[in-house]
Amino acid sequence: MPLFHNNDFEIFVDPTGDTHNYYELEINALNTAWDLFVSKPYRNNNVVLNDWNITGLKSAVKVNGTINNPNDIDKGWVLEIAIPWAAYKTGYFHKNVPTDQFWRVNFSRVNWDHQITNGKYERKKDANGKLLHEYNWVWSSMGVINMHEPKNGLMFYFLRKHQKQKILLPFLKMIN
In three-state secondary structure terms, 78 is: strand
Domains of the chain: 3-175 (2.60.40)
C-alpha distances out from residue 113 to 6, 65, 121, 127, Å? 10, 17, 10, 15
Buried b (16+ CB within 10 A) or exposed e, 19-34: bebbbbbbbbbeeebe
Determine whether 79 is exposed, middle or buried from the number of CB atoms within 10 Å of its CB (0-12, 13-18, 19+).
middle
Q: Where are the alpha helices (DSSP H) in the chain?
A: 171-175
Please list the pLDDT of the chain residue by residue as tens digits (176 residues).
678 888 999 998 888 878 888 899 999 999 999 999 988 877 788 888 888 889 899 999 999 999 989 998 889 999 999 998 888 876 555 566 777 778 888 899 999 999 999 999 999 999 999 999 998 888 776 666 666 666 666 777 777 766 666 666 555 454 44
For the purposes of burial, counting CB atoms within 10 Å of the CB of 58, is it exposed (0-12), middle (13-18) or buried (19 or more)? exposed
pTM of the model: 0.82
3-class DSSP state of 23: strand
